[in-house]
Amino acid sequence: MKKKNLGLNTVCTHVGEIEDKQFKGAVSPIYLSSSYQFMDVDVKRYPRYFNTPNQEYLSKKIAALEFTESAMIFGSGMAAISHMFLAFLKAGDHIVVQNTIYGGTTNFIREEFPKLNIEFTFTNGYSIEDFEAAIQLNTKLIHIETPSNPLLTVTDIKAIAKLGKDKGILTSIDNTFASPVNQNPALLGIDLIMHSATKYFGGHSDICAGAVAGSDVHMERIWNVSKNLGGSLSDFTVWMLERSMKTMGLRVKAQSKNALKLAKWLNKLEAVKHVYYPGLKSHPEHQLAKKQMKGFGGMLSFELKDNLNPEAFQKALKLIKPSMSLAGVESTVLSPSQTSHSLLTASQRKALGIHDGLIRFSVGIENVKDLKADIKQALKHIK
């Protein structure tokens, strides 16, 4: 079968399967060996070399989904991002980072890079001019996140890729929020695509994992660093991830459809001050999102009117649980100021536009009518 001609759900279901030649079972076997023979073999396998059979084969599925030559799976999204950054940055190098990104990535850069003498600049905004202005002679990497956490800003992927190519600088993206179902940055020219596989890849709130996809040459460079840092994933979890990814196309499409409906509905509610969702016509980058995304994703954020207490609202929800993390089949909400962005100061948060009342909504696969009813009863409860 030629990978290129397969549809999304077929890739999710079949690419990277390990054939069970011995018993002809329907699904990939789990290979748990941490010791493999070294004589008369093509590959010297070892879990921390990221090349056990389950790791090697699931990587093919991820590469196929992101239209890259190669991919690697890591123990977490932060392992993926840190191994990727450290493979391309050394002392004296500089990275340009989008200002509105995942809080954990910001913390990693701010806390670890000074110890390693790696220079960094967070952009003032997410326009091309903002990125261009931050570039220095020693810039080696430009890192973006779109749609971003938690305000769902949209960065022009193609323009960033072109900027990188023109200046001879590599580009990387955190593609977690969109997932490969809604956005394929490699097709727009981005070099390195990173995911927290804890989110849509896993999709059931029971796995912590990460992934990076890119060219063979770039992935080999990451592998050379990763084998030293050792952030590989256990084969049990790799297998769980394979099972989860079979339904990723179905799940993410259902979540994106639900999110669009809910964003439009919330936008009309008296109690809601503002909705952040790239699928809304009122979103400042709606046209750009339409151009570079296939769907607008399952994440949205909103602010309640000032007289309504966001904490009381979240507590009053019955079906939708206030929970950390995102992208499970079950809907969840959280306050970024109390969780993902709690380590930033109040003024840093304000500068990013993250108000204390902001509620991030990870839309699940439940029936929209039930989600609406839950929100309605919670609003009534706090009035």
Residues engaged in binding ligand PLP (CB under 6 A): 76-78, 102, 104-105, 149, 174, 176-177, 196, 198-199, 208, 210
Q: How far are the Cα atoms of 7, 61, 215 from residue 1, in angstroms, in the given order?
A: 12, 14, 22
Active site residue 174: yes
Q: Are 236 and 34 in contact (CB under 8 A)?
A: no
Q: Looking at beta carbons only, is 53 or 210 nearer to ligand PLP?
A: 210
Find all residues with CB under 8 Å of 37, minimum gap 6, and list them: none
Contact 341, 324 (CB under 8 A): no
User: In angstroms, what is the minimal distance from the CB of 204 to ligand PLP?
Assistant: 14
Beta carbons of 275 and 304 less than 8 angstroms apart: no
Q: State the virtual CA torsion across 133, 134, 135, 138 in degrees, nearest 10.
A: 150
- Is position 235 annotated as part of the catalytic site? no
Task: For the CB of residue 103, give the shortest distance to ligand PLP in the complex, in Å.
Answer: 9
Q: Can the peptide bond before residue 150 be classed as cis, meaning omega within 30 degrees of 0?
A: yes
235 or 271: CB nearest ligand PLP: 235
46 is catalytic: no
Asked if residues 212 and 80 have their Cβ atoms less than 8 Å apart, the reply is yes
Catalytic one of 3, 36, 46, 48: 48
**Tokens standing for residue 94:** 């500089």
Query: Which among 31, 57, 102, 277 is annotated as catalytic?
Result: 102
- Of 105 and 301, the one with the shorter C-beta distance to ligand PLP is 105
Torsion sign, CA atoms 142, 146, 149, 153: positive
Closest approach, Cβ 179 to ligand PLP, in A, equals 11
Do 320 and 374 contact (CB within 8 A), yes or no?
yes
Q: Min. distance of Cβ 152 from ligand PLP in angstroms?
A: 11
Measured from the CB atom, is 208 or 319 closer to ligand PLP? 208
Q: Which is nearer to ligand PLP, 31 or 88 (CB)?
A: 88
Minimum CB distance to ligand PLP smaller for 45 or for 232: 232
Catalytic residue among 45, 199, 253, 349: 199
CB of 196 to ligand PLP, least distance (A): 3
Task: State in angstroms the smallest separation of the CB of 253 from ligand PLP.
Answer: 19
60: annotated active-site residue:
no
Contacts of residue 233, Cβ cutoff 8 Å, sequence gap at least 6:
55, 73, 74, 75, 209, 241
Write down the catalytic residue from 93, 156, 174, 191: 174
Distance, in Å, from the CA atom of 161 to the CA atom of 37, rounded to the nearest integer, reads 43
* Residues with catalytic function: 48, 102, 174, 199
